[in-house]
Amino acid sequence: MFEDVIVDQNPHWDNLFFEPGIPRKAMETVRKYIDARQVISIVGVRRCGKSTLLRQTINYLIREKDVLPSNILFLNLENPYFTPYRKDIRNLEKIYDDYLKIVDPHGTIYFFLDELQYFSDWQVFIKSKYETENIKFFITGSNSQLLSSKLITLLSGRTLPLTLYPFDFNEYLLARGEQAASPIRAIRNRNRLRKLCDNYLSEGGFPEVVLAGKKLLKKDILFNYAKNILYQDIVPRFELKKPYEVEKLFYYLVSNISSLFTFNSLTKVVGLSDKTVKDYVGFFNDAFLLYTLERYDFSLKKQLRASKKIYCIDNGLTASAAFSFSANIGRYLENMVFCSFLQAEQKVYYYKTKNGLEVDFFRPDAIGSEKLLQVCVDMQNEKTRQRECRALFKAFEELDLECGIIVTMDEEDKIEKNGKIIRIVPAWKYFLYGVK
């Protein structure tokens, strides 16, 4: 019944390796988890490279772990062939039975299920096989359902989660043929790295977009990504009756990236109820599309009531959907910094001093100067310089800190005052090495 599609999706059975693609840092985590019994669940926004990561894992199993190709089954369940069968979980069992008939594997089976959320009640199938068969599962999905309380309840203690994001700056450089392996090499190539950082700022890190040739094509791809996430991941999953409302709110938020907002203020702008706005923003987060940033406060009640900031998973997605790029470079740079924290899985807030000065990012668990960080396109204007530094020095005083960072497009400097230090770092260097 399923023999044709199974064979077509598993070329490694004929010793044909998958295209390796750009090496992903996430492979370090996969290697760490690969011998564990638990299911590896990989989630992330659409088109961020989850399928490629699975194929890289298959190459790794065959080449470095000496796993027999026939013991590896890969299924892309987004394939239209499976559409008529998605409502009946028994079809996953039939697919697996057909695989056993084709190759007759021996020993541990490595079962890769890509975009598993397309099948209803898939958790039941995974749990059953996990408990009765010698199978190592790798599953992916484009929404946080794979990390939901439902999954945790059904597969308690049986999953190891991994969130994948679009390319970070280092991966972006590899994709563009540049390897800044050391600080010395980076300094020698600084002009090219600055240019590539500018490009990354505007086009983001979605693999297909980075590797596309024409600028206009990149924008079209990104615009379609946004539409697909809204109309294939969010609208059908949450059974929304008025998809144009979701789209209206998304485009408003993405056009005001890194801005402060309250749910009440959004209701006035987009004409939706407070509850609807909260729900929709939650849906955007669930699809790894938009994220909210809380204000840090020692009082949890005040923190929850304070205005939030909005950020997008990828700068390119923002630039393709928003109304203007050049006039908002500072906001895009700030969004890029936020994404770097997201990729590093670091807890982050924004901070407001007692006299109302704002610091863009505060990371309580970071070390030294990495705790407080401002983002500013340039510090050439004296008023701008004083404003950014004044907020940091005041935050130092209130949080009992000694140093902080200002990330700019192209400036490098150090400012000292009363034993406190602010390091000004160019973006390309910060994204490569942090602060040295």
Percentage of the chain surpassing pLDDT 70?
A: 94
As a whole number of angstroms, the distance between CA 369 and CA 367 comes to 6
Which pLDDT tens digit goes with each residue over 14-53? 988 888 889 999 999 999 999 999 999 998 999 999 999 9
- Select from 393, 427, 391 the least CA-distant residue to 411: 427
Architecture per CATH, domain 168-329, reads as Orthogonal Bundle (1.10)
Q: pLDDT, tens digit, for every residue of 139-159?
A: 998 766 555 545 556 677 788
Residue 427 has pLDDT above 80, yes or no: yes
Domain range annotation of the chain: 3-164, 168-329, 346-436
Sheet containing 349-352: give its strands across. Answer: 349-352, 358-362, 372-375, 403-408, 420-426, 413-417
Note the pTM of the prediction, 2 decimals: 0.93
Tokens 């998958």, located at residue:
18
CA 12 to chain centre: 29
Residue type, 184: I
Q: What's the pLDDT at 146?
A: 57
pLDDT digits (tens, 9 = 90+) for 375-412: 999 999 999 999 999 999 999 999 999 999 999 999 99
Specify the pLDDT at position 152: 52
284-322 pLDDT, tens digit each? 998 999 999 999 998 878 888 899 999 999 999 998 876
How far, in Å, CA of 281 to CA of 95, rounded? 37
**Mean residue pLDDT across the chain:** 91
Looking at CATH, the fold of the domain delimited by 3-164 is given as: Rossmann fold (3.40.50)
